[in-house]
Structure 1
């Protein structure tokens, strides 16, 4: 039944619409029966233990019986509907009086009429043997289909609500797999077996239903004015005799015109095919990318930033910390208390909130860690009378990896808590399960001196106070990294939290914080899995196209700019597959740790976040390359096409101008960097200076900052930049574009820009919003005649020759 939709014999009256309707009913009835009998075998397990096993698959007698019952019950309504549609007689038309009169007027038709009547009698006797229904039984069949589908949907929804999400997903997976296996494997075998059985035992050679349907004389099938039979007719008829047409040979002008029309139509369909392919591909890409984005991620990050950073409290604002004392004050008065769930607002104890932070919504996975990275003390390179020992900036070479006693001594007679003593001993990154962290001023190694915020709140507070008293942060400290992992069960989001405090050699403190939500769900729905499969099939299709183009064009393949976007999509897609598998394995590892310890183990999401970021970057580039390829379709727009041709025509001049502009811009960048490096924040680096100069070019810069930095040099340098760059260079660029634009506009060819107008015109005619009038047809014919015959300059010599020939004939006569 499923395959017959595409392979329907042309002779049968069982239409494709009716076949699709029967398939639709069969699908929903099968889903209804499967969901009613689903998991029934587990509820009524037999005790005889008679099971068939094929590897991990076990089949019991109940399952076999349920499968047979479902197949039989699904077969009965579908078989009845199929037979109902097959046995409905076509809606015949009564023979008109004009037709009867014409037949009576023709004497040579009387014999044919009598023969047709006899044949109709035979057909009627033959059809009496087969049960047939009137034509209006089609409406009854469609009504039964509607009732069956509606009842099935109601029971499916009710049963699905009873099962729940997880069990319903398993049911849908089993139904879909069973449907495809039935279409591709079970039903073809069933058809072959039944065909062999009926051919051997039940087939009557004199009864050919398909031939009867094909040779049904009761059908009134007449030819149109432009149609003719492909085969010789045995019985001639007044209404089926093909009209005689006179074949006209096309002249050269008509051939050229029709060829041009056909080429434009082929170009139009090529553009439509490209648009449809790109639209389908981008739809799948957008679904995959944006379905993995969680709308609750922003609210989660916004809440945690306000919760930990305290931007509304001046004395506890993490972003305003500038000294070591302020850092210790924030750590002791704010951060430590936020790590444990404390009393409710009415004084009730936090029951069943062990492991939660004080917001009562996020659970701390394991515990938080505070890792310090230090540098070794060394003799100063430049000897001076102030100090002979210096501590430079952090680098891997001068990192301190020695272990000390509390207080950074070699030995200590006092005893402290084990976690305090551990904070003065160096631990490698392999033991900590940490990785390199990139800060604003340096990249910090994975090891360090670690304190773990473990135990009760009072113990943690006393340990942090002891670290403060022992001078855990001193002149050799260059970075303190606090890391923890949170899980919000309400929105099903893991969040990796990192606080970085960089202690610079210039005694300044630079703070930063990162809150990175992540989800580990592989597939949120079956639809997402189907989109991934479609996406990979499209990528394989793109690979085949690009390989064929590379083989045909060879080195010319790399000349076109648009050729680089497609390989970019392919490379990023396959790299995303590899990274996705890596992220999946990392999520499985973290999930296994969480399951084994119930969340009471330190879990670091740093690697998972790095892998997820790389996957996001790759998917972002896929989305970028796929979207930017849509601009290729703008080549059929006349304005944009004119602009592109202008840029191509002025490529050499623009190249020379870009060299000159780069030299001028670089000179001004060096000037501003050297003059205002220590006075303006924007000029602290070359990159920031270049950004500031681009803002000046766009006239988006506040000149008062330059005046405040230097009373004379600031306005003077600003004026020089505006004169040479904005007035001179930009004017040169506009002049180059304008001159070449005038040249291109005179010689532009607009034939390839008519695709969208032709596409719109075809679409309007197709949907019936615009009908072709006689005036338009006559105007088109006049234009063709004008184009073919009216060209006085080219045909003038030919006309003179004809005149001379005519005069010669008259003179000779």
Structure 2
């Protein structure tokens, strides 16, 4: 093909991209002293700030390149673009063009970052993509801002207290602490929380730098790009943190009888369903790789492995792409479609329903632990009793199954008997200190039963011991 094309365009890569300095018209700079006076847009500008890759249709790109800042005036912008066009700033070696714009809405105090991506392929094709991100640089003004700061401080205090409690629990449990699933969730929650706090600090620093760059009139693109990227990552971690904390509320579902039975169903079918998940994943992978290798160059939905998985998952939910497959391959397309529907949608889904149905009898035989059965009821009673809306009845003690409630019930029942016993002991002790006549009068007034003589019994009696019966003393006969 050399007689048809005098020069070939190499593919783009991080190791093959150009990073030098040029003059207008893409002429190499021979004198290094001329680099400082070079026109803007012809010198490679590295990305000196934290940035995320910018994703296009075919690949991703970083924040470096040959860039220039367009001024706000429309006439100056037209003259700059005309000069770039005259010197062929965009030529056949250009692989991607970024157009970044920053918008500000003062009514809601929000910034919007708009990034347009134009990819130029080696075959002179153009693929476009856009990214729109909205974020906030200023703190919320007025009273609502102070409320937000107060809530953030309270959250940090609660987080540190929870960390201290979990550290004590982990120190007491040792390696057995890591065997609990919810303990692993708690560790992951602390990791996300402290990472979000660190990103919140970085966001505040880069936001202040971006606002200072606006006031001083410096290059705002890099500052705003860093602020946008950190705000984006902070939003990701905040979303994960919220998700984990909401999932922790699932622990409260075990106190509901019906949901506790439903949880027992998932626990009972965990072994069989895990094996079924592996089998389903292997079948999905087989169809995914077949679709990627057969239709990847024709159908957009199968252009990558991730898109193939996403497309097959959508097909299992009812979103079909039958006509695209039929146009790409009139014979293999319909065969692939109907084979996937019959194997995945009909057979394997029915297997999953059979596994769930086999675990349902265990739900009927499930009994909640006694500690969890009345936890919510007791918690609500304590909460209402704290504010004075509910008061436990004095005469009737509710029947509870927990150990603490049984102890309280027994103590409340024994309290009058203990009071009477105490009164009797006090009366007996005071009676023993009085003279005999006073003691008899006190016993008659209180109507206490006469004290009985205690007998000591030994069983079985020894060989030399025998039961003695008290005998009445006989009076001597009177002499006549």
Q: Counterpart of 2:23?
A: 405
Q: Counterpart of 1:645?
A: 264
SS in 2 for 1:422: coil
Q: Counterpart of 1:209?
A: none
Partner Cα distance (2:28, 2:380) in 1: 88
Displacement of 1:765 in angstroms is 9.5
Q: Counterpart of 2:351?
A: 732
CA offsets, 1:96-128, max 9 Å, x none?
xxxxxxxxxxxxxxxxxxxxxxxxxxxxxxxxx
Q: Counterpart of 1:439?
A: 55
Greater relative CO (CA pairs within 8 A, separation 6+)? 1
Displacement of 1:476 in angstroms is 0.3
1:576 paired residue among 185, 192, 196: 196
SS in 1 for 2:345: helix
Partner Cα distance (1:777, 1:586) in 2: 62
Displacement of 1:465 in angstroms is 2.0
Partner Cα distance (2:68, 2:346) in 1: 60
Displacement of 1:389 in angstroms is 3.0
CA distance 1:629–1:495, shift in 2 (3 Å): same
CA distance 1:570–1:429, shift in 2 (3 Å): closer
CA offsets, 1:441-460, max 9 Å, x none?
33334432223323853343
CA distance 1:649–1:454, shift in 2 (3 Å): closer
Displacement of 1:543 in angstroms is 0.5
Question: Could you state the TM-score of these two structures normalised by the residue count of structure 2?
Answer: 0.70
1:558-597 aligned at under 5 Å gives the runs: 558-595=178-215, 597=216
Q: Counterpart of 1:790?
A: none
Q: Counterpart of 2:443?
A: none
Q: Counterpart of 1:532?
A: 152
**Residue correspondences, number:** 386
CA distance 1:649–1:491, shift in 2 (3 Å): closer
Q: Counterpart of 2:468?
A: none
2:5 paired residue among 376, 384, 387: 387
Q: Counterpart of 2:125?
A: 508
Across the aligned residues of Structure 1 and Structure 2, the Cα RMSD in angstroms comes to 3.6
Partner Cα distance (2:391, 2:158) in 1: 37
Partner Cα distance (1:444, 1:722) in 2: 38
Displacement of 1:713 in angstroms is 1.9
CA distance 1:706–1:462, shift in 2 (3 Å): same
Q: Counterpart of 1:610?
A: 229
CA offsets, 1:316-344, max 9 Å, x none?
xxxxxxxxxxxxxxxxxxxxxxxxxxxxx
Note the residue ranges of structure 2 that are not aligned, 5 or more in a row. 31-35, 401-480
1:20-31 aligned at under 5 Å gives the runs: none
1:553 aligns with 2:206: no
1:697 aligns with 2:316: yes
CA distance 1:689–1:534, shift in 2 (3 Å): same
Q: Does the 8 Å CA contact 1:436/1:443 hold for their aligned counterparts? A: no
SS in 2 for 1:668: helix
Displacement of 1:723 in angstroms is 2.0
SS in 2 for 1:389: coil
Partner Cα distance (1:464, 1:419) in 2: 19
SS in 1 for 2:359: helix
Partner Cα distance (2:165, 2:64) in 1: 49
1:89-100 aligned at under 5 Å gives the runs: none
Note the residue ranges of structure 1 that are not aligned, 5 or more in a row. 1-382, 413-417, 781-813
CA distance 1:777–1:644, shift in 2 (3 Å): closer
Q: Counterpart of 1:424?
A: 42
Partner Cα distance (2:370, 2:327) in 1: 59
CA distance 1:739–1:748, shift in 2 (3 Å): farther
Q: Counterpart of 1:457?
A: 74
1:623 paired residue among 242, 266, 270: 242
1:143-292 aligned at under 5 Å gives the runs: none
2:88 paired residue among 465, 471, 488: 471
Displacement of 1:771 in angstroms is 11
CA distance 1:710–1:401, shift in 2 (3 Å): same
1:544 aligns with 2:161: no
SS in 2 for 1:453: coil
Partner Cα distance (2:332, 2:391) in 1: 69
SS in 2 for 1:696: helix
1:710 aligns with 2:329: yes
Partner Cα distance (1:419, 1:503) in 2: 30
Partner Cα distance (2:209, 2:339) in 1: 61
CA distance 1:720–1:753, shift in 2 (3 Å): farther
Displacement of 1:634 in angstroms is 0.8
Q: Does the 8 Å CA contact 2:264/2:366 hold for their aligned counterparts? A: no
Partner Cα distance (2:157, 2:398) in 1: 50
1:260-339 aligned at under 5 Å gives the runs: none
Q: Does the 8 Å CA contact 2:268/2:359 hold for their aligned counterparts? A: yes
Displacement of 1:683 in angstroms is 0.9
CA distance 1:503–1:650, shift in 2 (3 Å): same
CA distance 1:519–1:754, shift in 2 (3 Å): same
CA distance 1:628–1:478, shift in 2 (3 Å): same
Q: Which moved more, 1:537-546 or 1:708-717?
A: 708-717
Q: Does the 8 Å CA contact 2:96/2:120 hold for their aligned counterparts? A: yes
Partner Cα distance (1:486, 1:426) in 2: 26
Partner Cα distance (1:747, 1:456) in 2: 74
1:322-361 aligned at under 5 Å gives the runs: none
Displacement of 1:538 in angstroms is 0.5
Partner Cα distance (2:254, 2:399) in 1: 30
Displacement of 1:735 in angstroms is 1.5
